[in-house]
Amino acid sequence: MAMQGNTSPCIEEVAKDGYDSNKFDDDGHPKRKGTWVTASGHILTAVIGSGVLSLAWAIAQLGWIAGPIVLMLFSVITLYTSFLLTDCYRSPDPVHGTRNRTYRNMVKNILGGTQHHYCGLAQYINLIGASIGYTITAAISMVAIQRSNCYHKNGHDAVCTMPNYPYMIMFGIIEIILSQIPDFHELSWLSALAAIMSFGYATIGIGLSIAKVAGGSHARTSLTGVTIGVDVTSSEKLWNTFTALGNIAFAYSFSSVIVEIQDTLKSGKPENRVMKVAASTSVAVTTVFYMLCGMIGYAAFGNDAPGNFLTGFGFYEPFWLIDIGNIFIVVHLVGAYQVYTQPVFLLVENWCKERWPESSFMAKEHHIKIPLVGTYRMNPFRLIWRTLYVILSAVIAILLPFFNSIVGLLGALAFWPLTVYFPTKMYMVQSKVPKFSMRWTGLKLLSVFCLLISIVAAAGSIEGIIKELKVYKPF
């Protein structure tokens, strides 16, 4: 956009038409209102999701030594590379440069060529996969609530087996309604609620684990995790270890939305500094919770830790506390689903508007007043496209409801390209890091190391999906 001084022609034109220019930033885009607190809320909503539920199982595969080391390693890598990304939000200067409002545009502007196509592919595969994974997880928690109530009402010998897919459909209906929220800037309230829920169910899980250990439970654990010949075969140990790496990578996965979150920060203070505060706060809080959930969960369940540790406490007593924990999970995932799918929605909608700029079907909004809610901006294309997307993700979740394997595969696919490769590559280009210097060599070695982790994690998850498909019968 052409600029003269600090005033955008877009703003001047809007002002002439009678609109308040205070509603726009100096580059003509709608004024941002986010702070490090709201950014932290968005990150916590994105990162403390279904991944936390699989950490006790992941630690069980790795053991007391490797488990916490791997958790801390992923924490440090994620925080460091997120710092690199925040410095690339504006280019060529991290403070006074032009805003890169999306991850893909950032890659395009800094690296050039066709790399932004590969970035977009990796990012949107991760975002779409997250919506599928969250649908699976929400359904598991809804079934857990139903089973808990069934056992409480009919006794522990009652038959309380029920399918997941009706609950996936129910979750999809809720997301169809919420997906009509026009854009990311209107999601702060949902992210705040979801972040509170994530702390709630993680705390309940930690509390139940402590109670289980304090109650005299002596689960069998070991320094190296599940034992070959006792718990698993040697091949199962290897594949499960690979899948556990993917699960932990997924638990720390928020790079695919960090640029869009940074784009919500209000102008004034340099966005990269504010975002580093938000990232540091979020990753620190996340790591504490992950350590507690993973380590205490492993102590409670030992080598028999379930894939979803909150459903591993049984479905009996205290049934009401288990119900509350699973309700928190569902509410959190309702919000996290939107955080991950909004970039997908906006990508398709913006492309269609550019492709058919004269189409009223694509661009025209109808303002509908809803009592106690406000004015809803209904766009026909947005209504149809977002509804179809939610339906499709729910159908795929019904066909592939394999929690740990799907979570591990998503983590493996997104971790190296989005969390490591593109952040390090863009930082080196924008900062003009000298080739073969100490920093250049270190960043290259980090990228190669993380690529190897992603490859083995993906292999383990794919093997798990193939194994589960052999015995799974949909519906």
Once rounded to an integer, what is the mean pLDDT over residues 412-440?
91
Look at residue 132 and tell me whether its pLDDT is greater than 50: yes
Domain that holds residue 206: 38-470
Look at residue 111 and tell me whether its pLDDT is greater than 80: yes
Q: Give the confidence band of 120 by pLDDT, cuts at 50, 70, 90.
A: confident
**Is 13 a member of any domain?**
no
**Is 442 a member of any domain?**
yes
pLDDT tens, 342-393? 888 888 888 888 888 888 787 777 777 777 666 667 788 888 999 999 999 9
303 contacts: CB under 8 Å, gap ≥ 6: 60, 219, 220, 221, 222, 225, 226, 227, 230, 231
**Is 429 a member of any domain?**
yes
- Helix, strand or coil, per DSSP, at residue 265: strand
Once rounded to an integer, what is the mean pLDDT over residues 414-443?
92
Q: Give the confidence band of 312 by pLDDT, cuts at 50, 70, 90.
A: low
pLDDT of residue 447: 94
Look at residue 122 and tell me whether its pLDDT is greater than 90: no
As a whole number of angstroms, the distance between CA 197 and CA 334 comes to 10
Q: Match 């496209």 to its residue by tokens.
A: 385
Once rounded to an integer, what is the mean pLDDT over residues 167-188?
81
**Is 14 a member of any domain?**
no
Once rounded to an integer, what is the mean pLDDT over residues 100-125?
87
**Is 475 a member of any domain?**
no
- Helix, strand or coil, per DSSP, at residue 369: strand
Report the range out of 161-170, 248-257, 301-310, 418-427 with the highest average pLDDT: 418-427
pLDDT of residue 434: 94
pLDDT tens, 394-416? 998 888 777 667 777 777 777 88
pLDDT of residue 193: 80
**Is 3 a member of any domain?**
no
As a whole number of angstroms, the distance between CA 50 and CA 54 comes to 7
Q: Give the confidence band of 475 by pLDDT, cuts at 50, 70, 90.
A: low
Look at residue 100 and tell me whether its pLDDT is greater than 70: yes
Least confident of 162-166, 196-200, 387-391: 196-200
**Is 6 a member of any domain?**
no
Give the residue, 402 or 131, on which the prediction is more confident: 131
pTM of this structure: 0.77
Residue 25 gets the label, from left (phi > 0), alpha (psi -120 to 50) or beta, of beta
CATH of the domain at 330: 1.20.1740
Q: What is the number of structural domains in the chain? A: 1
pLDDT of residue 61: 93
- Residues 92 and 329: beta-carbon distance below 8 Å: no
**Is 110 a member of any domain?**
yes
